């Protein structure tokens, strides 16, 4: 039980570290996009397409993260209630 909680903690911590990295990189990308739009206004359509593609990839990633934690929480519930399948 304690090993499971330790692994769960490590997974949550690692995921949060990756979220911090993601948000820092996202801020850098927003600045770069702002500069590109100022320099090359005609590139706005291409940048919008890239933005929506990246947004869909991030949404899929978040869905997989949530699914992973739901499965881990079910294991915790099963361990605590004694339901082993």
Q: Each residue of 5-41: pLDDT tens digit?
A: 788 888 888 888 888 898 999 899 888 888 888 888 8
Q: Model pTM?
A: 0.50
Instruction: Please say whether the beta carbons of 80 and 4 come within 8 A.
Output: no
* Neighbour tally for 31: CB within 10 Å: 10
Instruction: Give the whole-angstrom CA distance, residue 5 versus residue 14.
Output: 14
34-68 confidence digits (pLDDT tens): 888 888 888 778 878 888 898 899 889 889 988 98
Which DSSP helix (H) or strand (E) runs through 24?
Answer: helix 2-39
Q: For residue 84, what pLDDT is reported? A: 59
Closest CA to 64 of 6, 3, 27, 18: 18
């Amino acid at each position: 039980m304690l090993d499971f909680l330790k692994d769960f903690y490590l997974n949550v911590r690692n995921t949060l570290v990756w979220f911090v990295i993601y948000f820092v990189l996202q801020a850098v990308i927003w600045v770069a996009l702002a500069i590109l739009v100022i320099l090359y206004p005609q590139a706005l359509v291409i940048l919008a397409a890239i933005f929506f593609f990246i947004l869909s990839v991030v949404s899929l990633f978040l869905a997989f993260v949530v699914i992973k934690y739901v499965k881990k929480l079910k294991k915790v519930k099963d361990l605590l209630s004694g339901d082993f399948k």
